[in-house]
Amino acid sequence: MDPNELLTGSRNDTTPALPVVVVTLLKGVLYQDENMPLWSQLLQLQAAVRDYVAVLGLDLILDEAEGYAFLRAHPDLDNPETPAIPRLVARRQLSYPVSLLLCLLRKKLAEHDASGGETRLILSRDEVVELIRIFLPAGSNEARLIDQVETHLNKIADLGFVRRLRGQNQMYEVRRIIKAFVDAQWLSDFDARLSGYRKLHLENQEETDG
């Protein structure tokens, strides 16, 4: 099928057009609970979307059970023997604190799922502060720590891994898409990674104090 026909929907007037679905995915994550009509269109056009974005060097990552979808650069783009294609989905270099907080939130979500309770994991800002506190030097300035955690949470919210609850600025929902980025293999090395993060943080703190 001609990609232009896929994009415009001209092949069949009863087939929903692809532009809104494709452009939305190119901009970021599509969540079922945030846009049910568009989510339904994506499910209906899933094969067509996969074919279309594949031409752009992208893969559609779709999890119907968790209710999210996003685009990821095809692994072949990292192969030096394949023709170079400019990345449409840029890689993001995360800072140490943001990486650490992502680890902690992912582990917290795994524990939450194992408990068999509510599907959604809601944490207060203070609970997030307590998660990260044990990896910081004793006696860290409380006000500064809270400010830093809020800054890191803002960054993670921008990335789409958490969102603030409406009318409750200090309450955060951990989005389940975090499971797609911090996977089971990543979690299996969790303790070693956190040990490394803590060591790095202490070294950075010593350099700052020095």
From CA 129, how far away is CA 179, in angstroms rounded?
21
Residue 133's pLDDT is 85
CA-CA-CA-CA torsion for 62, 63, 68, 72, nearest 10 degrees? Answer: -40
Residue with the two structure tokens 């400010």: 147
**Whether 156 contacts 149, CB under 8 Å:** no
Q: Could you say which DSSP state residue 60 is in? A: E
Tokens of 190: 């969790």
Q: What is the CATH number of domain 3-78?
A: 1.10.10.2250
* The Cα angle at residue 74 between residues 68 and 75, in degrees rounded to 5: 120
* 96-209 and 3-78 share a CATH fold: yes
From CA 160, how far away is CA 30, in angstroms rounded?
10
Q: What is the CATH number of domain 96-209?
A: 1.10.10
Residue 87's pLDDT is 47
**Whether 197 contacts 100, CB under 8 Å:** yes
Domain ranges of the chain: 3-78, 96-209
Residue 209's pLDDT is 57
Residue 99's pLDDT is 82
* CA atoms within 13 Å, Cβ hemisphere of 142: 2
Contacts of 65 (CB under 8 A, 6+ apart): none
Residue 61's pLDDT is 93
One digit per residue, the tens of pLDDT, for the chain of length 210 reads 444 444 444 444 434 578 899 999 988 889 998 999 999 999 999 999 999 999 888 999 999 999 999 998 877 655 555 444 444 455 567 787 888 898 899 989 989 989 887 788 999 999 999 998 877 766 678 888 889 899 999 999 988 899 999 888 789 999 999 988 887 666 666 667 667 666 766 666 666 555
With H, G, I as helix, E, B as strand and everything else as coil, classify residue 182: coil
* The Cα angle at residue 176 between residues 197 and 179, in degrees rounded to 5: 50
